[in-house]
Every structure is written in structure tokens, then in C-alpha cells.
A and B are shown apart, each in its own frame.
Chain A
Amino acid sequence: LAKTTQPISMDSYEGQEVNITCSHNNIATNDYITWYQQFPSQGPRFIIQGYKTKVTNEVASLFIPADRKSSTLSLPRVSLSDTAVYYCLVGDRNTGRRALTFGSGTRLQVQP
């Protein structure tokens, strides 16, 4: 399974846009990229998933360059409630070889 590398932590202020980048240099052709959010003492929550280019939903955008060796989760106008750990995972959607390896994640701290 493709290994992912993320910054350990990031700090931001309310109202700012936050971009968290994940490196996955050995991503396979059939691998998708998925991002999860985890609050303390809770299970992870799905944020967004993509394969290439850009994906946007009501909470975030995911930017994936053409070589797919990295991806960037973009959180627009963060609030205090966005303080959490964010994980990116890669895995094969078609064969069921799902991403089950959580990296260290990025601990985002949003300040007032």
C-alpha cells in the first residue's frame, strides 16, 4: 500500500483557508485518495475522496496534480470546530484493496 507523508501539525486562525498537503510518491494507477477528519475520542469521519484533478464538496476541496504523487486538502474559512487531526489515505477502490494504513496525520489547531 502506498505510504503517505503529511506535516505533523499546522496552525491557523479562524476565517483563513487551510491547505494540508499529503505526499504519496508510490501511488498505484488504481488508487484513490481519501481524507478523514478525527476529533479527540471519536472515530474518523470521511471528508472527501478523489482520483485526479479537483474534487469539491460542501466542506472541502481536494486538489490532485497530474502525477498524483501528492494531494492537497483545502478547508475554506476554517473555524474553531475544524481543530482536529486530518489523515490522508490511498487505496485501490476497484479490487477492494482499501486504504487501511493511517499515517501520522496532521494535527490542525485553529486559533480565534
Chain B
Amino acid sequence: GAVVSQHPSWVICKSGTSVKIECRSLDFQATTMFWYRQFPKQSLMLMATSNEGSKATYEQGVEKDKFLINHASLTLSTLTVTSAHPEDSSFYICSATTGPSYEQYFGAGTRLSVL
């Protein structure tokens, strides 16, 4: 089956620093990738939709200048949390889809802890 690799799985950083999270589709080309955020005991919340070669579409309430998304190739999308603060501590999950397929293939997630 389709595999999505997300790296790192866990990151701790100091407040004010930036953190980059990578999402790779290992055995398929992902025309679209999605980024979600999940707080403890809560559901996934869509942050943005990323299409290869174009600007990401952000959901209402998500700061595009704080959460920079780059989808430079059909197998890689990155999410950079800029100037991270403790309230950005969360579980970030990416997913990828192929062409007309409806199924999302999810990465294992990245737990971000901002001190």
C-alpha cells in the first residue's frame, strides 16, 4: 500500500525558534498533501491543503505566515512552524492523495513540544 513518511516523529524546541516537518510519499506521487493539527484528546483539524507547484490553501484561522508550507515536488511537502511558541505545541499530521483517489494516506505524525 501507499506509504507516507513524516519526519521527525518528535521534536522539542525553544520558544522563538523555527521547526521544519517533512512529509514524503515513498511509493507514489502525491498531487495533493494535507496538513492537520491535533491537540490532546481532540480530533484532527485541517490546517492547509498543499498542491505541488502552487501556493497552499489555508483554513480559516490558520496563519499562513506562521505555518509555512512548501510542496516543491510530487513526493515532498514541508511545514515550517516559524517563531514557535508553547501554544504551538501539538501533534502535526500530514496526509497525501493521488489523482482521483479519494483515500488519504497519513503519515505517523510529529509531536512538537515548544519550551
Kindly state whether residue A63 has any CB partner on chain B within 8 Å.
Answer: no
Of the listed stretches A19-27, A54-62, A65-73, A93-101, chain B binds: A93-101
A-B contact count (CB 8 A): 53
Chain B residues lying within 8 Å of A34, measured Cβ to Cβ, are 102-103
* Known contacts A43-B6, A43-B93, A43-B109; is-contact A98 B44 (Cβ 8 Å): no
- Which of A42, A46, A94, A100 touches B46 (beta carbons < 8 Å)? A100
Kindly state whether residue B100 has any CB partner on chain A within 8 Å.
Answer: yes
Is chain A's interface secondary structure helix, strand, loop, or mixed overall?
loop
Whether A91 lies near B102 (C-beta < 8 A) is yes
Kindly state whether residue B78 has any CB partner on chain A within 8 Å.
Answer: no
Kindly state whether residue A45 has any CB partner on chain B within 8 Å.
Answer: yes
What is the size, in residues, of chain B's interface with A at 8 Å between Cβ atoms? 25
* Known contacts A41-B91, A98-B97; is-contact A103 B43 (Cβ 8 Å): yes
A41-B109, A49-B102 provided; 15 other pairs, C-beta below 8 A?
A41-B91, A42-B109, A43-B6, A43-B94, A43-B95, A43-B106, A43-B109, A44-B93, A44-B104, A46-B105, A87-B43, A93-B100, A93-B102, A98-B104, A102-B46
Mark B residues whose CB is within 8 Å of A. Answer: 4, 6, 32, 34, 36, 43-46, 49, 91, 93-95, 97, 100, 102-109, 111
